[in-house]
Structure formats: C-alpha cells, structure tokens
Amino acid sequence: MDKPKKEPIALHHEQQNHRLCLNCGFPNRQADTHCMYCQTNLVEDGGLFSWMRQTYYILRWRWQLKQKREHLNLTSRSSFLKAMCYFSLGLILSVAGIYFFTSSISENSFTNAIIALLLICYGFFTLRYLFWKK
C-alpha cells in the first residue's frame, strides 16, 4: 500500500498543530521527525528563544511567499506587455509594407516594391513568432 503524500500545513493553524523547522522555518506536522523541506532533524525546543525563533521563521516564510507571488504577477504582466509590443510591431510593419507595396505598384517602382516586401516579411515573421512560439 502506498504511503500518503505529505503536504505542508497552513501557517494560520494553531501552534499545537505544527512544528517549525529550526533550520529553514518550514511548518511541519507534529508527527514528522524530519523537515519536509530541508530534511533537517526536528528537535523539540521550548522557552522564549524558541518562541522568538519560530516567530522569526513564520514572518520570513510569509515574506518569501509574498515575494514569489509578486514576482509571478510581474512576470505575467511583463509577458503580456511583451506580447502586445510584438503584436503592434508586426501589425505596423505589415500595414506599412502593404501601403508601400500598393504605392510602388502605382508608381512602377521596383526598389520600393522590394523594400515593401521586406517590411511585409518582417511583419509576418514578427506575428508568426508571437503566435507560433513553442
């Protein structure tokens, strides 16, 4: 029979339901003998210094979680902004290329048509990079 997967407990539970690792501050269940995060041996400690250390680890742990959440939010915002910039650049290049191509046809200019085709290709590949990215 498989062992149940260990899951960390929430930080808002009462003090009696968990023990903090004195090495990393990870909250563990009372029945655990080793920390689920760093595998350090959990030793029962009491007194004022133990309480201060546990409080410090709880605050540090919450701060680290908050930093990770903020980093994820910034990453998702920046990726959206990056995608919008690629989309606008591809659209502008494609539209400019089409405009120059139509004007080069009316003027019978071969060099303007080549430049227009280059702009259309750059715009197409920019949009392709955005939509067909792995």
Question: What pLDDT is attached to residue 7?
Answer: 47
pLDDT at 69 over 60: yes
Mean pLDDT for the stretch of residues 117-132: 86
CA-to-CA distance for 8 and 78, rounded, in angstroms? 31
pLDDT digits (tens, 9 = 90+) for 82-115: 888 888 998 999 999 999 999 999 999 899 899 9
pLDDT at 13 over 60: no
Task: Spell out the domain ranges in the chain.
Answer: 45-131
Question: What pLDDT is attached to residue 1?
Answer: 45
pLDDT digits (tens, 9 = 90+) for 19-46: 777 777 788 888 888 888 888 777 666 6
Question: What pLDDT is attached to residue 40?
Answer: 76
Contacts of 41 (CB under 8 A, 6+ apart): 33, 34, 35
Question: What pLDDT is attached to residue 76?
Answer: 65
Q: Which helix (H) or strand (E) holds 28?
A: strand 27-29
Please give the full DSSP string across 111-129, using - where no structure is assigned.
HHHHHHHHHHHHHHHHHHH
Please report, for residues 38, 75, 118, the alpha-carbon distance to residue 18 in angstroms, rounded to integers and kept in the order given. Answer: 16, 33, 65
Mean pLDDT for the stretch of residues 65-74: 76
